[in-house]
Amino acid sequence: MSRLRIEGLNKAFGGVVAVQGLDLDVAEGEFVSLLGPSGCGKTTTLRCVAGLEEPSGGRILFGEKDVTRLPSEHRMIGMVFQSYALFPHMTVRENIGFGLEMRGVSGTDADKRIAHVLETVQLKGLEQRYPRALSGGQQQRVALARALVAEPELLLLDEPLANLDAKLRDEMRFFIRSLQQRLGITTLYVTHDQSESMIMSDRIVVMFGGRIHQIGSPEDIYNHPASAEVASFIGQANMLKGRVVESRDGVATVETAWGRFSCSTNRPVAVGSLVTAMVRPEALRLTNGADRSDFSGRILARHFLGNVVDYRIALADGTVISVQAMSAGALPAEGPVSIKVDQDKAWLLQ
Amino acid sequence: MKLRRWLFALPALLMVALFVVVPYLNIVLMSFRTPSATAIYGPGFTIQNYARVLTDSLYLGLLKDTLLYALATTSICLLIGFPVAFHLARTDSRWRGLLYAGVLSPLLTGVVIRCFGWIVLLANNGLINQLLGLGGLGPYRLMYNPVGVTIALVHVFLPFMILPVMNSIQSVDPRLGEAARTLGASGLRSFVRVLLPLSMPGIQSGVILVFVLSASAYIIPMLLGGGQVSTMPTVVVQQLMGSLLWPFGATLALVLSLTALALVALFGALTKRAMRRVA
Amino acid sequence: MKRFPTALLCFIGAVYAFLLLPIAIVIPMSLNAGEYLTFPPQGLSLRWYVSFLNSEQFTSAFVRSVGVALVVAVLSSAIATPAALFYVRHLRSGREKFRLTMLAPMLLPEVLTSIALLFFFNQLFFGTGTLAPLVIGHVVITIPFVFLTVTSALYNMPAGVEEAARTMGAGAWTAFRRITLPLVKPGIVTGAMLAFIMSFDNVNISLLLKPLGTSTLPIQLFDYLRYDFDPTAAAVSTISLTLTLSVVFLIDRIYGLRAVRF
């Protein structure tokens, strides 16, 4: 039985549809990210789960319980807002204790739990401070502590790291993820940062325009994207269009304007159909023509990125693709080159 | 459910509807009634009130005088207020809070007290004349004449010019002026071509506010004019309190207000181009 | 450190002197032992304060002004605060119109408003025989101030605190009581104090709406100044000044003058 189930969620604001037909099952203890560009409906979905928005249609269940019509304050959730939303007129201790107070926990019991959660987020000693006297990172951890102290069923986070600088964001990602794993709390996490969702999640839900395009593990999403949008949103992708000339056993051979190559697929493809294959820059190998290659081109530009080198290559008809290779054995900045597609890593899109 | 939320605003809306909208509509109505010396108004309606005001040179002169006072006050307030507003907006001195209080506090002391202070200063045997007397000058008639009235008008309404202009200047990024200087503009040119146009919204607010306020001033001309200075508001109020020709008083008040409003609209139209480049 | 030209600073200093001198001059004047408004004062004396206390007209006017101002402050806050809450939290369409309506009494010339109310109360109500029209008039013109300070406080509240409270188990009323109200209180109190000051100092409305035979302090002072000229007026002014500036000082101490935002 899943800890959180969303069935056919619809939400419209006035005439604008924010979320359409969303289905999602989150298992106990799972960390699931809602990933997508601004306006894709991920925050709206989170707020519906939190009870801060009323769905226009569909159901939301916590375990067996239908909470669709249940007000936010009666759902046992902990939520961390992007702006933290700490109460400025209360100390750290009072902020954290507020949730306990609302649920009838007070006195020494409350004190113990507050002290414990403060230690968990490594903020011991700051109980009497006011939010304005804390750094951004500290405020973030108070928000986290506040959400966790009442031991909610679900932890909801709305882009909590957006306001932190890059280094702090990095640290907090690992912090939040390890904390979540230790506590085993089911978590829904909204972000627009794809590397963030890849680092932290058990599964990622990729959304565009109010709909789910794909649900899967970070590897699934990266290696086998379900659509062109997903492919280009996560990492870099070369989109190669062509016609299928052969198809058997999960491998399709595609004929393009510049040559022929093979790629992987998980569905039957009709010979002769027009397709697009997604090939990541690191799935292409450059040679000087010694090995068998799939197509040839000319190097337009070469950028040294540290551990890899990025090449921009023009194919026979002028299409530009991007190839990344390890720095060792780098080719000169210009000149003709042969390209081989790694069949296992090329992926046929729907 | 949504209707229940409107209940929050209901008392305030009722107050404004009942005690602002209705009474104002009533003034307009009143201005068309026949004046009577024995009751609030006589029977029937007439446009005689307006005819009288708009053709009698006495009242037209009064209108002109009132608007001239307003114009003078506004101009002087703008001239001396702008530098203060600029300084207040841009300074990082630790006395800034105190200076801000210095501009705000006069607003929070009564107009009568401020006039009294000017009486003390401007009277023939007042402080200024005494000081001038030490140097063998004067005494000058600084009170009970347009000079005294204008000085007091400027004093009372100056904060209403300083505050909006200050707000406007504060919203102008100081680095714009610096950018202009790196492009070769001298301090003055940077000021005229960058800061001044960008602070137009504040200037406009201040000008409109001070103009309307000084055109409708009653207490100040009464106290500093001592009966020698008549403006439309002083005449209107005296009429309303002294005699019962209320419809006529209403007409006077409305003619003044509408004229002031027309001038404000004119000002708005003239500065529209300047404003459009900012907003 | 921002450097301003010395000439500019001198000019600005002169303007500040211009702004503050007439107000400041009243205080030493009230302690003048001599009869006329001479300067320097001919010795110090409290005789004019005694004169004030002995004047039944002045003291009753003072008491009346304070009483009215207190009532006005309470009423104004009670009416404008819910309206401000509604405007910031619930109103979706027609916001500008609503805001203009709320601020209208402040934007219209006070003289016109008092004339309008004079007619209104005499035609449609029982005239100005009681203090009610006066109080109503004061409330009407102070509502915009409370509205402004409360909306300002609401806008300055961190985003999402009420929602956060709800996700932590607080119902709508509890969230309002424990989160919204404490955070909006400075705005309400500042607004109420402003309303007090505006009412206490008010002349235009009071002049036309006051019941015959009674007076408020500014009106009493106004009448006095038209005919009499002794430093009793200075004593009265100083007392009035002290009262209003104390309230301003209180606002600044507790909440900072930045809370007074227009």
The boundaries of the domain holding residue A128 are 4-232
Q: Identify whether C7 is part of a domain.
A: no
* Per-residue pLDDT, A193: 92
Six-digit token pair at C219?
Answer: 């009106």
CB B211 within 8 A of CB B262: no
**Domains of chain B, residue spans:** 56-276
Q: Identify whether C28 is part of a domain.
A: no
Please state the rounded mean pLDDT for residues B151-162. 94
Contact across the interface for C168 and A51, Cβ inside 8 Å: no
A315 Cα distance to chain centroid: 32
Contact across the interface for C166 and A51, Cβ inside 8 Å: yes
Average pLDDT taken over every residue of chain A: 88
Six-digit token pair at A191?
Answer: 């972000």
**What's the pLDDT tens digit per position in B241-264?**
888 788 888 898 999 989 998 999
Residue C149: burial class (beta carbons within 10 Å; 0-12, 13-18, 19+): buried
C-alpha distance from B8 to closest chain C C-alpha (Å): 5
Domain boundary among A177, A203, A232: A232
Tokens 């009215």 — which residue? Answer: C68
Query: What is the value of ipTM here, to two decimals?
Result: 0.85
Q: If contacts are CB pairs under 8 Å, which of residues 69-98 in chain C contact chain B?
A: 78-80, 82-83, 85-87, 90-91, 98
On whether both A167 and A218 belong to a single domain, the answer is yes
Please state the rounded mean pLDDT for residues B77-102. 90
Q: Identify whether C109 is part of a domain.
A: yes
Contact across the interface for B116 and C225, Cβ inside 8 Å: yes
DSSP class of C32: B
Contact across the interface for B115 and C225, Cβ inside 8 Å: yes
B253 Cα distance to chain centroid: 15
C-alpha distance from C256 to closest chain A C-alpha (Å): 16
| pLDDT band at residue B23 using 50, 70 and 90 as cut-offs | very high
CB B63 within 8 A of CB B252: no
* Per-residue pLDDT, A5: 93
Nearest CA in chain C to A145: C168
On whether both A176 and A263 belong to a single domain, the answer is no
DSSP string for residues in B10-29: HHHHHHHIIIIIHHHHHHHH
On whether both A92 and A135 belong to a single domain, the answer is yes
**What's the pLDDT tens digit per position in A125-155?**
899 999 989 998 999 999 999 999 988 999 9
Greater confidence, C118 or B138? C118
% of chain B exceeding 90 in pLDDT: 32
Contact across the interface for C166 and A71, Cβ inside 8 Å: yes
Please state the rounded mean pLDDT for residues A289-315. 82
On whether both A13 and A143 belong to a single domain, the answer is yes
Domain boundary among A185, A208, A232: A232
On whether both A343 and A323 belong to a single domain, the answer is yes
Parts of chain C with a pLDDT under 50: 1, 259, 261-262
**What's the pLDDT tens digit per position in A64-105?**
899 999 988 888 899 999 888 899 889 999 999 998 988 888
| CA C181/CA C185 separation, integer angstroms | 6
**Which residues have CB under 8 Å from B135's CB, separation 6+?**
none
| CA C120/CA B23 separation, integer angstroms | 5
Beta-bridged to residue A261, according to DSSP, are A254
| CA A9/CA C197 separation, integer angstroms | 55
| pLDDT band at residue B279 using 50, 70 and 90 as cut-offs | low
Tokens 């289905």 — which residue? Answer: A23
Q: Identify whether C39 is part of a domain.
A: no
* Per-residue pLDDT, B1: 53
* Per-residue pLDDT, B86: 92
C-alpha distance from A70 to closest chain C C-alpha (Å): 12
Q: How far is CA B274 from CA A187, B160, B189, in A?
A: 54, 21, 17
Contact across the interface for C23 and B105, Cβ inside 8 Å: yes
The CATH architecture that domain B56-276 belongs to is Orthogonal Bundle (1.10)
Six-digit token pair at C14?
Answer: 């002169």
On whether both A98 and A243 belong to a single domain, the answer is no
% of chain A exceeding 90 in pLDDT: 44
| CA A103/CA A117 separation, integer angstroms | 16
Please state the rounded mean pLDDT for residues A308-320. 85
Other Cβ atoms closer than 10 A to A5 = 17
CATH code of the domain containing C122: 1.10.3720.10
If one counts the domains in chain C, the total is 1
For the cut 90, the answer to whether the pLDDT of residue A326 exceeds it is no
Whole-model pTM over 0.95: no
Find the largest Cα–Cα distance for chain A: 77
| CA C168/CA C163 separation, integer angstroms | 9
**What's the pLDDT tens digit per position in A225-269?**
888 889 889 888 888 888 888 888 888 888 888 888 888 888 888
Q: If contacts are CB pairs under 8 Å, which of residues 166-195 in chain C contact chain B?
A: none
The region of weakest confidence among A123-127, A160-164, A340-344, B274-278 is B274-278
* Per-residue pLDDT, C1: 45
The boundaries of the domain holding residue C149 are 56-259
Tokens 């040679």 — which residue? Answer: A287
**Which residues have CB under 8 Å from A27's CB, separation 6+?**
A2, A3, A186
Find which of C168, C178, C180, C183 to mutate to test the A interface (most A CBs within 10 Å of its CB): C168
| CA A228/CA A239 separation, integer angstroms | 8
Q: How far is CA C262 from CA B83, C82, C147, C152, C188, in A?
A: 20, 19, 10, 9, 14
| CA B40/CA C125 separation, integer angstroms | 13
- Whether there are 3 or more C-beta pairs closer than 8 Å between A and B is no
Other Cβ atoms closer than 10 A to B192 = 12
On whether both A19 and A129 belong to a single domain, the answer is yes
On whether both A23 and A92 belong to a single domain, the answer is yes
| CA A187/CA A29 separation, integer angstroms | 7
* Coil/strand/helix, residue C111: helix
On whether both A148 and A10 belong to a single domain, the answer is yes
* Per-residue pLDDT, B273: 77
Helix (H) or strand (E) holding A120: helix A107-120
On whether both A158 and A22 belong to a single domain, the answer is yes
Which residue type occupies B238?
Q
C-alpha distance from C159 to closest chain A C-alpha (Å): 6
CB A243 within 8 A of CB A271: no
Other Cβ atoms closer than 10 A to A300 = 13
C-alpha distance from A99 to closest chain C C-alpha (Å): 5
Contact across the interface for B113 and C237, Cβ inside 8 Å: yes
> Residue A14: left (phi > 0), alpha (psi -120 to 50), or beta?
left
| CA A252/CA A262 separation, integer angstroms | 6
Q: Identify whether C132 is part of a domain.
A: yes
On whether both A59 and A183 belong to a single domain, the answer is yes
Domain boundary among A175, A200, A232: A232
> Residue A171: left (phi > 0), alpha (psi -120 to 50), or beta?
alpha
Intra-chain end-to-end CA distance of chain A, in Å? 31
Six-digit token pair at C188?
Answer: 């309400």
CATH code of the domain containing A79: 3.40.50.300
Please state the rounded mean pLDDT for residues B260-279. 83
Chain C positions in Cβ-Cβ contact with residue B249 (cut-off 8 Å): 115
Residue C122: burial class (beta carbons within 10 Å; 0-12, 13-18, 19+): middle
Greater confidence, A170 or B131? A170
On whether both A194 and A258 belong to a single domain, the answer is no
Please state the rounded mean pLDDT for residues A278-305. 81
Query: Cα–Cα–Cα angle for B24, C204, B201, nearest 5°?
Result: 70
If one counts the domains in chain A, the total is 2
Six-digit token pair at C115?
Answer: 């004339």
* Coil/strand/helix, residue A109: helix
DSSP class of A332: P
